[in-house]
A = this chain, B = another copy of it.
């Protein structure tokens, strides 16, 4: 255990309180005293004890992040942005992964909630918004993802229906008509797959392309292996499509690989479009057309939303500005309704759906 305020006080010959005043940069300290205390602080390598601070102040500066998988590129990139953005709020991120397991999601939610962390950002796969609402009580919660939390919980996501419509319309615009959709996930609660399927169907209907149930392929996970399996199934089953919209880039990369294995040329024989804009897709051969959610905006909005809740929720212990405290208290009476924040997205067209030569500069972000 390191040095405490008491140790420093003893060494500098002042009271504990004065040391605290120096540490916290309070004005009412004589220059000479401040100097002496600062020297003692350095000599003893004093570091404030976060646990004690939190116990007093009721906040820790820690934000929990629960995602299904840290090692999936999409969540990795998102987590990275969240960690970076959190630094701007002077927050540290406590990352845990649920593997999409509802039980584990609940345990993390209840275990972290109300404890140690000031707020929680979660991308649920297994729990429904109602479950989430019931389990989360103590701290503000912001969801990432498409689930319909209808006024129950704040959440941030892109408009997946619209994005899927645009992606599918893009494929239709290439003259494709047998467009498969890979990534249907009936068992998941988060609504992502549903919304993308809805968008896909809407685009087909709008273009008067007859839907074919055989072209809607379910998967059990969003990994490459599943994408490859789905594509093989399509090709083996005699349902060969001329384009495929995958609900994630990983699925698309797996599908791409399988198609190439079957001797297909992409995009000539098969156009491939993904979703997420992960880095791998930019350097795949051919590079992958995809829907790019504005991940930086998602991170920014999620944290901003949490910041708002924190400001409103707690009576601002020791608020410096009385006017501000007033406003916070006023907002605190009627907890503001849950927000639904929609982040931007754009369709990034690359080689896997373009007519361009394969011998191009390659990526839209080449160095």
Contact = CB atoms under 8 A, between A and B. Distances in A.
Interface string A134-149: 0001100000000000
B50 A52 contact: no
Contacts of A137: 2, 45
Given A80-B70, A228-B283, A114 B47 contact: yes
A363 B257 CA distance: 10
A208 interface: no
Interface in A71-87: 71-73, 76-77, 79-80, 83-84
B279 A224 contact: yes
B367 A226 contact: yes
Contacts of A366: 225, 228
Contact of A261 (B83, B138, B360): B360
Interface stretch (A94-102, A167-175, A186-194, A302-310): A94-102
A115 B283 contact: no
A280 interface: yes
A60 interface: yes
Contact of A96 (B55, B83, B261): B83
B83 A76 contact: no
Contacts of A226: 367
Nearest to A104: B87
B73 A79 contact: no
A256 interface: yes
A55 B56 CA distance: 11
B285 A367 contact: no
Nearest to A295: B71
Nearest to A281: B280
Contacts of A365: 225
B84 A76 contact: no
Nearest to A52: B55
A109 B261 CA distance: 47
A93 interface: yes
A62 interface: yes
Contacts of A49: 55, 115
Contacts of A54: 51
Given A116-B51, A224-B279, A367-B226, A258 B73 contact: no
A1 interface: yes
A362 B261 contact: yes
A71 B73 CA distance: 7
A62 B283 contact: no
A229 to B, nearest CB: 6
Interface of A: 1-2, 45, 47-52, 54-55, 58, 60, 62, 69-73, 76-77, 79-80, 83-84, 92-97, 110, 112-116, 137-138, 223-226, 228-229, 253-254, 256-258, 260-263, 279-280, 282-285, 358-363, 365-367
21 contacts: A2-B114, A47-B114, A49-B55, A49-B115, A51-B51, A52-B55, A55-B55, A70-B79, A71-B77, A73-B73, A92-B94, A92-B112, A93-B94, A93-B96, A94-B94, A224-B283, A257-B285, A257-B363, A261-B358, A262-B359, A285-B285
Given A1-B138, A2-B138, A225-B365, 11 more contacts: A47-B138, A50-B116, A51-B52, A51-B54, A71-B79, A83-B97, A93-B96, A224-B279, A228-B366, A257-B285, A261-B358
